[in-house]
Amino acid sequence: MTAPDLGARRARPAARGLTPAGSDPLQTGTLVLSPHFDDAALSIGGALEAGAFPDPVCIYSVFGVSNYTRNRFHAGWRRVTSLRRREEKRYAAALGAICAFAEFQEAALRIGSDFPSLFRCRGNAYPLKPARFDRAMRDIVLEYRPRLLLCALGIGDHWDHLLVYRAVRKMRLGLRLPVLFYEDLPYAERLGPHSVERTVALLGPRFHSITIPIDLDAKCAGLTCYASQLGNDDTHRVRKYAWDLAKRTGAKGPSERLWTSTPAIIAL
């Protein structure tokens, strides 16, 4: 499969968008923590395609060992992992971004492939030792030393998403680093924008949102890189939520939404 041509706009510095206050976009970089291989593309692919964040951009897949393809779990996790990493590399290359992978096994490999157990509401055990995972996440951020960090909110209560979110919330106390949290798709679409707002309100009173207009067709073109993961139903959810957000926020067109409690983030 040929990668869609998404890279033309990523080649230039992020002269517009979201930039840490007081920084030069030519000298900044963005680390995107993506729990799984396709999470960043699903959730903030439009903003990535538009060059909304400081270059260079690194998409870091935290649970980089997988046994899952669309609607199925497989015994041959090595083959699945290799396939999914190739797809992620194809997507990042099309954007002009870089990608990296941690060697953590995703939840299905750690606690079994019973789908409901992968979510907090049904699972009965914490799937990783939190302290070990938190240290590893901190080490990743310290290694890359980004000027801007993006992380999933944990909408939908998937264990892997929650682990990444909780680790970042903890490390922010010790790192002077602007952080933006993105709404996890497809779970956010199943809740709807208003319910997502109620969920975020429970996380802390200081959160406020930033809405980013996107080229929805370009975002959906990027999702075709993930042939093993995503189908027409996923693209439909992405399109629907982008327009639902526009209606909810008053934006003029399809949008993505980020959340932050960091005053150092400004919109240009």
Q: pLDDT value at position 126?
A: 57
Tell me the per-residue pLDDT of 42-55, one tens digit each, with 9 for 90 and over. 999 999 999 999 99
Confidence of residue 69 (pLDDT cuts 50, 70, 90): confident
Tell me the per-residue pLDDT of 199-217, one tens digit each, with 9 for 90 and over. 999 887 688 999 999 999 9
Once rounded to an integer, what is the mean pLDDT over residues 223-238?
92
Q: Which is it for the CA torsion 237, 158, 135, 209, positive or negative?
A: positive
pTM over 0.75: yes
Confidence of residue 99 (pLDDT cuts 50, 70, 90): very high
Is residue 47 within 8 A of residue 267, CB to CB? The reply is no
The share of the chain scoring above pLDDT 70, in percent, equals 79
Once rounded to an integer, what is the mean pLDDT over residues 165-178?
79
Looking at every residue in the chain, the average pLDDT score rounds to 81
Confidence of residue 107 (pLDDT cuts 50, 70, 90): confident
* Domains contained in the chain, CATH given: 18-267 (3.40.50.10320)
Is the predicted pLDDT of residue 121 greater than 70, yes or no?
A: no
Q: Give the chain's end-to-end CA distance (angstroms, integer).
A: 36
Is residue 3 within 8 A of residue 93, CB to CB? The reply is yes
Is residue 179 within 8 A of residue 225, CB to CB? The reply is no
